[in-house]
Structure 1
């Protein structure tokens, strides 16, 4: 019974932190530098690709120039998810199979997010990291 009382606030806190759609992590190094700085992890996306027989499941983290960008991402999350869903669902599975196609998508995501956040690349999202990328 005591465990149940202590566990409920913990689960509530965990649920609230997960519901924001973005988590901030410091990966060490100098902020904004290549391979270092903070990242904002987005909730997973599952979208139908332009050929409706296939879909893309994608998890990603965004390298951000500074921690304040994380707050901006949270504020713009509904619009960001919309922009990313439209972008991802416009792609054909064949486009995304190649390494070149994935790199192009990373650039388009970075540009789309920074435009939505109304930030320049060096002030906003500096890189995109795919954590899960499945086409079925």
Structure 2
């Protein structure tokens, strides 16, 4: 029987191996600075059914992060990051995220969710979210 410590160690090892295998899922700026002077991380595109199941969302997201270390942490925890994003996005109704106010609220939710997953505060982790592609059909 696994105790909590063993389970945490096993989960960390699985996440590390998964992140190493899916390293292409994150396009880190490689230390190059974004226009605002901070690194970015590009997530692979998401396509999710929205909660009503009659519509779906196709979205590409670029994250602005506080440091290269935060970008590395995103890469390390990519399976958990993607899971969190899928759960968040698939719980939305199209009417909630079609207008500008809804998109701004979604940006705030994404920052809060990802920083929580990464165990970081906003000033140390994801500082902004940019929608590169956002299609509801």
Shorter chain as normaliser: what TM range? 0.7 to 0.9
Aligned residues: 116
RMSD across aligned positions (CA): 1.7
Please say if residues 56 and 136 of structure 2, whose CA atoms lie closer than 8 Å, have aligned partners that are also in contact.
yes
Residue 98 of structure 1 pairs with residue 94 of structure 2: no
SS in structure 2 at match of 1:91 = coil
Counterpart Cα distance in 2 of 1:118 and 1:18: 21
**Aligned partner of residue 63 in structure 1, secondary structure:** strand
CA distance in 2, matches of 1:19, 1:74: 7
TM-score normalized with structure 1 length: 0.80
Structure 2: gaps (5+ residues): 1-19
Unaligned runs of 5+ in 1: 1-15, 30-34
Q: Which has the larger radius of gyration?
A: 1
- Does the CA-based 8 Å contact 1:28-1:36 persist in structure 2? yes
Mapped contact 1:20–1:74 kept (Cα < 8 A): no
**Residues 37, 64 of structure 1: 8 Å contact kept:** yes
Matched, 1:130 2:112: no
Report the counterpart of residue 21 of structure 1 in structure 2: 25
d(CA) in 2 for partners of 1:18 and 1:85?
17
Runs of 4+ in 1 over 6 A off after TM superposition: none
